[in-house]
Structure formats: C-alpha cells, structure tokens
Structure 1
C-alpha cells in the first residue's frame, strides 16, 4: 500500500483539483489518500466529505490550526502504507506521479527518502522565482561532496519506518523551515536520500505580490529557527548568530549586497532557462531582490524572539566517577576524586533521561566499570528496556566481560573502548603501564567474537590523536574495522581534562616540525572515511580541522559548541555544566534546568568561546 498525505488550510478549490488528479491515476498498488484539515474555515470539510462518499480510500482528518508540520504528523500516525508521500494542497502531481514514486523506491531499495522535481509555470512569475530558489537549495556541498540536505514537502516520499522514527518539528507554526529542519535531521542520522527529477509535481503558488512577500518573510522566520537549532547547517552558514552585533552586521551586509544577490540568481536562472526576455529579466531581478529583503526581515524577527528551540538534549553524559585504574600520561582527571555521584543519584538521572526521551545516555569517567555498583546501575537500565553508552579503557578481565555479556547481547549497553596505538609499546607508554595493550586487545577480540553470534550488539573505539601515535592511526582504524567495531572515532589531544578551556603545554602535543606527518595522516583517514562512511564517526570536515587545531588556528567560526544545546553534562559533583560554567544541579529536575534562564545564558556564553576544541560530544563543524 502507498499512502499520500495532504495537509490543507483554506484552499478548498486548489485541494479539490489536487485530489481529483491523484484519484485519476492508475496504479497496481492499493492507495490511501489522507487529507488533514488544519483548521480551515472555508468549504474544505464539505468538499472532502462529499468525495469520501465516492472513494473509500479517501480519509479526512481535522485539527485546530497548528500548522503543516503538525498536520503531516497527524496523517503519518494513521497511514498504513509502506511508502508515505507528501504533497501540498496547491500542487498538481504529474499523471504518472504515483507510478514514478513506486518505481523509484523499487529501483533504489536501500534509499529511505526520495524527493522529486517541483515545477511552477513561468507565467506565474513570483511562484517561478520562489520555486527556483527552493530547488537550488536541495543539494549543498559539505564534507567535500554535494549532498541532498532536504526536500520540499510538495514532492517527497518516505519509507514508513522513517516516519516511525522521525517526525516533523511542530514548533514551526506555518509553512517555512519545517522541511529544512526535518531534512537536516535525516541527513545527520545518515538516512539515505535521493533526488529523482522524473517524479514531477506542478506547484500552483499564489501569484500575487502580497503572497510572495509573505511567503519569503515566513521562510526567513523558519530558516532562522533552523539556524538556532542547528548553527552548523550548511545552507545557513552565512548568518552569524554568535552575538547581536555580529548578527546585525550580517544583516546589514546582506541588505547592501541585495543587488549582487539579484544579479547572481538571475545569471543562474538564465543558464537553465534560455527563453527569458529582457523585460522578464528585469522583473525577475526585482523579485530576487524583494525575496532577499523580506527573507532577511523574517530572519531579524525570529532572531529577536526568545524562543527555546531545543526541547531536550541529544546526549546526556554522566561523569559518574573520576577514579581510574590507569594513570594515563595525558590525563589528569584522577587529581579530582573527592566527589562522586551515588548509586541513587545516577539512577535518578538515568530515569529522568529515559522519561524525557533523551536519545543517547553515556556513563563517562574516569573508568565507570570500577564502580562497585556498576551492575546495579546496568540492571536498572535493563529493567527500563533502555540503553546506556559506557566509555571504558577496556582493561577489565574475562570475569567482568562475562558479567557484561547479557547487557551487550540485549543492547542495554554500548561499549566505547579507548585505544591509542596499534603497537603495544605506543599504547602502554601513553597509558602508563606495560601489558595494558594486551588487556585492551583481548577485550576487543572478545567483543568481536560475541558480535559473530549477536550481530546487532554495538561497540566502538575512540583514539586520541597525538604526537606519539600519528604514524599508527590508519593501521589502528583498519584493525578496529577488522574487529567489526560499529564505530571508530578520533579525538584530538585535550591538554587539560579538568579545565578543558585551558591550553597548556604537553609533551604529547604535535609540534610544528611534525605537522606534515599529521597532514598525511589526516589525508589517509579522510580516504578511509570515504571507504567506510558509516564506521569512521568523524566527518570529513572535522578531520580536516584537526590540522588547524594543532596549528593553534582553530577559531569559533570553524566549529559550533553545543554544550547546553545538544549535550547535557552531569559532572561528578552533581553540577550540570558546560565547559566554563555550571548552570544547574541534579537536585533540581533536569528538564527544569535545561529550560532555565541560566541555561539560556550558558548557551550564549559557549557560542562566544575563544578557545574552541573538537570534542565530539560537544562540538559540531
């Protein structure tokens, strides 16, 4: 079965044409057409209900005026199709639209989201310009490759399982930005997307100047909301939101550059459309300029709103102990072991994270597995049918491994093992004791053997990039891939674990005379990323920035710190912290801390950080 969902609001005439067009299409699959009325006050309900009497596979739902994002979610909840399509009420799908969608999904079985071409009649000049700009944004270059970052919801189809995992964000109250945010979330979660121009709809956008200006204003608001949620979004990098001064300077610059924007877009358009007259060029130039101005007015309006854009963190990291059985030469965390969270405190934090719906929860340290109560904590996680990540040095014995096995098999834990060399001498020197490499490798081999029998279990590795192991990192990664690790991650040396924002001298820092070796290592790791994109966790850009980091040239413009935005860190003393400051304590409810004024101030503070790092759980690039 294929399900088609159309959100609608006060466009009964356009909607009727859209429905009739879809109902005329002949397909072999069973069809389900769902109309979600977003609080219309015109004849929408009457028209759709009359059509429902004639067509049993047509369904009508109604909600208060909550916006198209909420309407799509409502339709998706009841949709029964294996493939779910979205289009707009003012669209006319091509006569073979459904066949084209089904053909594309059959041909590309591993692709989960397929978007098509949306066209507008050139005589509808304002709509033509809007759609040209929209279509130009579908693909963007990042991580050294042109990639699909979103699809307009006028022409998109998804496997049902995607919408069971991801929904549209209902913070977006009108059309504009909700599809951009949804697409970027899919991209970040490595959902495969494909652009197929043989899947065609025609968009009958309102041609009036008033609608054009209002539309672009809403796009500006929506996209600024996306910028607040994802500062690293490749389509929005030209907007600087680090502070008010930089933002308004960006806007002033954009206004001054409006004529150049108009010329640039006109040149792009005329390269595709050869039959544009001189008069049309003048008209289109003016529309491009108006688009730019009203889009920026929307940006400014949303920037001034004190809107909490992040409902909850993606990561909840619990610094459960600073005690450790090793004395690694690049780590000073054992200097601070006076305070430690109790069993009940950790379980209380985990319970809140589970109830809140936090996607990733992690026990960090120190060495979490030396806690006497660790299996009591894991038993709680198991009873709640949840999962927690554990960062470990992997030196535990076979007896401990046997006790961990049920939790690994049941996916209650995901282990991340630290390993810093492919040679025993390298790893043991860094970790401060002979024989540690053998212990860690024995653990990794046990994990590999267990994965042979239970392929769905999850474990990975993390390695510190430093002067002592540069020549070994590529071979190390290949060894870990050979051991069937789900993820292999690299993290540049952090000179001070207790005060992450402080840069101190370290004998493990990569000196200038070794930067060429680093460059070659990064080149090799980037090639490995291309070979194993799902296993090497670092992005291409993140790997490239490692060079700037060790050159001491990394700036706040290169990275975006997400401490207190995507990551909540509970320290060993119970404080909830970003790098430089605490903004709450576990004595208070985590959700209340997250939405507090102090948390908002902290989010602004971290954006202004002058000593950026590349810590994977805090930073996006």
Structure 2
C-alpha cells in the first residue's frame, strides 16, 4: 500500500468519549502531527463521538464489542508501518510517538517492542496492589534489549508482523497468543523503557477485585476455547494454589524495581485479596469458559 503513515496508534475503549478517554486522546493527539501518523479510536460504546474530528483521527464504532476484540479491530484497520497500541486509561509520555519510532529504527529486526509502565493512581493501597499485580515486570528500569513478554498497554508491532500473524481464529485473544507465536517463529521481542506510559485505574476494593476476577476468567476462558479440555484439571488445581506464590512474586518484582520496602509490606493483604479474586476467575474460566467476562473488562 502506497503512502502508509509511519505510525498508527490504536486506542480501544468501551466507555466512549468522556473524561478518561479525553485525557488519553489529548496526550497522543498532540504528537500526531510531528509523527505524521494516524490515531484510531476503536469504540465499543454507544456514546456519540466528538464532532469535527481531525483528518489524522479515525473513529471506528463497534458497539457491544469486548476490549480484546476492539484491539483486534484496531490492529486490522491500522495502516501504519509501525502500529502501537495503548489503553483508554493511560497517558503517554510527551515524546512517546517519537520514542516508538526511534526504537523500531534502532531495532529493525524486532517484530514488536514494548515500553515501561508506571502508575498514576497512587492514593489507595488496592490501586498500588492492582498495578503491581498487572504490570510489575514492565516497570522501569527495563533492560534495553531482547525480551520474552511485553506489556499490552504499551506495545508496538511492525507491519510485516501483523500481516503475517493476523490469520487464524484467536477467540478474541489475538495478543494473548501473538507474543508466543512470534517467539516460537524465531521473531525478536524487545523492551525499551524510553517508551513510557502512565496507567490510571482506581475502582475501590470491591470493584478492583471484580475486575481481576473477570480478567482471570476471560484469560482462562480464551485458553480453554483454544486448547479444549486438555489439561483442564491440572489447570484447575493450579488455580487453587496460585494466589500466595503469585502475590509474593509480584511484590518481589516491584521491590527489585526499587519500590519502597514499607509500601511493599503494607500491600500484602491487598495483593492477596486480588490474587484470590483472579484465581477464582481463572477457575471459573477453566470449568465453564469465559462467560461474559470479556465484556466486563475496560
């Protein structure tokens, strides 16, 4: 395709145009002109989009579609040579677009490049625990070089990768399996912590646990859809014993990144609470599938 933009940025949302998305949109749109790129907002809500969108912005409506499917739609619709993706509750650094393009220029053989993540929700302990649970491995500092896993809220792909690996049924979990497929095919994944985003998410003690439950159920439900009943009971057993070691691993990762020991110690109860919720969701996913959990995530 002639005239591809150098960069496409995909932002999926199930909440539509509102204060949360406006903050994310603003942090990206201000960089679009310098990057000569396009911004794709893939909207699963029924909220009316803003009027008079700039030519560099494409608003793609898919009412009622889950976040995972919205991400797939965005990756399929993007036309850039590099396609980056983040979430509607993230704020990217002021040099984020330039950092993405620079990293891909420095690593021409890399199939995908992921950046670092910090938290913007810093008031409540459960918010810290939730952030560590989901993103501790990708906090700065990150080694600049090869990796085996990347954080889906701050990742970018080369066009050739999406063209090659888009095929097949992914059951709404393209990126869950894409990284593993890339590594299995001998492709390189790279991390670069000059590519920075801040993550904002605060739902309270109960709301955060509910989100972790649905995240766990959606993940295991997708995996069950792909692999069937193979290993079902061993996966179920792992769900029962996972919370404590998983919580301790995440807290240890955060400590290794230089997070204060006093904060780490204070988060043990909240982290265990969230890990039990996640494991309960995973168990439900193993035994009864994803249900409507993919549509509960945002």
Q: Which of 23, 32, 44 is residue 38 of structure 2 equivalent to? A: 32
Is residue 254 of structure 2 the alignment partner of residue 269 of structure 1? yes
Partner residue in 2 for 1:253 = 241
Partner residue in 1 for 2:213 = 217
- Paired with 1:7 and 1:117, the residues of 2 have a C-alpha distance of 19
Q: Which of 184, 202, 205 is residue 201 of structure 2 equivalent to? A: 205
The alpha-carbon distance between structure 1 residues 72 and 223, as it changes in their structure 2 partners (threshold 3 A), is closer
Partner residue in 1 for 2:107 = 108
Partner residue in 2 for 1:7 = 12
Q: Which of 175, 181, 186 is residue 185 of structure 1 equivalent to? A: 181
Q: Secondary structure at the match of 1:112?
A: strand
Q: For 1:133-171, what per-residue CA distance to the aligned partner results, in whole angstroms no more than 9, with x for missing partners?
A: 333456xxxxxxx96333232111111121122239652
Is residue 297 of structure 2 the alignment partner of residue 301 of structure 1? no
- Paired with 1:306 and 1:88, the residues of 2 have a C-alpha distance of 25
Q: For 1:451-484, what per-residue CA distance to the aligned partner results, in whole angstroms no more than 9, with x for missing partners?
A: xxxxxxxxxxxxxxxxxxxxxxxxxxxxxxxxxx
- Paired with 2:62 and 2:224, the residues of 1 have a C-alpha distance of 28
Contact kept in structure 1, 2:170 and 2:226, CA below 8 Å: no
Contact kept in structure 2, 1:97 and 1:199, CA below 8 Å: yes
Is residue 68 of structure 2 the alignment partner of residue 69 of structure 1? yes
The alpha-carbon distance between structure 1 residues 7 and 58, as it changes in their structure 2 partners (threshold 3 A), is same
Deviation (angstroms), 1:282: 4.8
Deviation (angstroms), 1:223: 3.1
Bigger radius of gyration, 1 or 2? Answer: 1
- Paired with 2:236 and 2:73, the residues of 1 have a C-alpha distance of 38
Partner residue in 1 for 2:267 = 284
- Paired with 1:273 and 1:220, the residues of 2 have a C-alpha distance of 27
- Paired with 1:3 and 1:21, the residues of 2 have a C-alpha distance of 15
Taking the TM superposition and a 5 Å limit, the aligned residue runs for 1:348-359 are none
The alpha-carbon distance between structure 1 residues 271 and 152, as it changes in their structure 2 partners (threshold 3 A), is closer
- Paired with 2:63 and 2:109, the residues of 1 have a C-alpha distance of 37
Contact kept in structure 2, 1:116 and 1:199, CA below 8 Å: yes
Q: For 1:38-61, what per-residue CA distance to the aligned partner results, in whole angstroms no more than 9, with x for missing partners?
A: 1x134xx333x34x0xx2111111
Query: Larger relative contact order (C-alpha < 8 A, sep ≥ 6)?
Result: 2
Give TM-score scaled by structure 1 length.
0.41
Taking the TM superposition and a 5 Å limit, the aligned residue runs for 1:383-398 are none
Q: Secondary structure at the match of 1:123?
A: coil
Deviation (angstroms), 1:230: 7.4
Partner residue in 2 for 1:132 = 132
Q: Secondary structure at the match of 1:171?
A: coil
Contact kept in structure 2, 1:150 and 1:182, CA below 8 Å: no
Is residue 64 of structure 2 the alignment partner of residue 59 of structure 1? no
- Paired with 2:239 and 2:166, the residues of 1 have a C-alpha distance of 32
Q: Secondary structure at the match of 1:25?
A: helix
Deviation (angstroms), 1:289: 0.3
Deviation (angstroms), 1:33: 0.7
Q: Secondary structure at the match of 1:157?
A: strand
Deviation (angstroms), 1:249: 3.9
- Paired with 2:249 and 2:85, the residues of 1 have a C-alpha distance of 32
Q: For 1:389-426, what per-residue CA distance to the aligned partner results, in whole angstroms no more than 9, with x for missing partners?
A: xxxxxxxxxxxxxxxxxxxxxxxxxxxxxxxxxxxxxx
Deviation (angstroms), 1:95: 0.3
**Which structure carries more helix by proportion?**
2
Deviation (angstroms), 1:105: 0.8
The alpha-carbon distance between structure 1 residues 107 and 305, as it changes in their structure 2 partners (threshold 3 A), is same
Q: For 1:77-119, what per-residue CA distance to the aligned partner results, in whole angstroms no more than 9, with x for missing partners?
A: 3322111111111110000000100110111111121111111
Taking the TM superposition and a 5 Å limit, the aligned residue runs for 1:434-453 are none
Q: For 1:489-527, what per-residue CA distance to the aligned partner results, in whole angstroms no more than 9, with x for missing partners?
A: xxxxxxxxxxxxxxxxxxxxxxxxxxxxxxxxxxxxxxx
Structure 1: runs of 5 or more not aligned: 139-145, 232-239, 308-621
Structure 2: runs of 5 or more not aligned: 139-144, 291-298
Give TM-score scaled by structure 2 length.
0.80
Q: Secondary structure at the match of 2:87?
A: coil
The alpha-carbon distance between structure 1 residues 281 and 301, as it changes in their structure 2 partners (threshold 3 A), is same
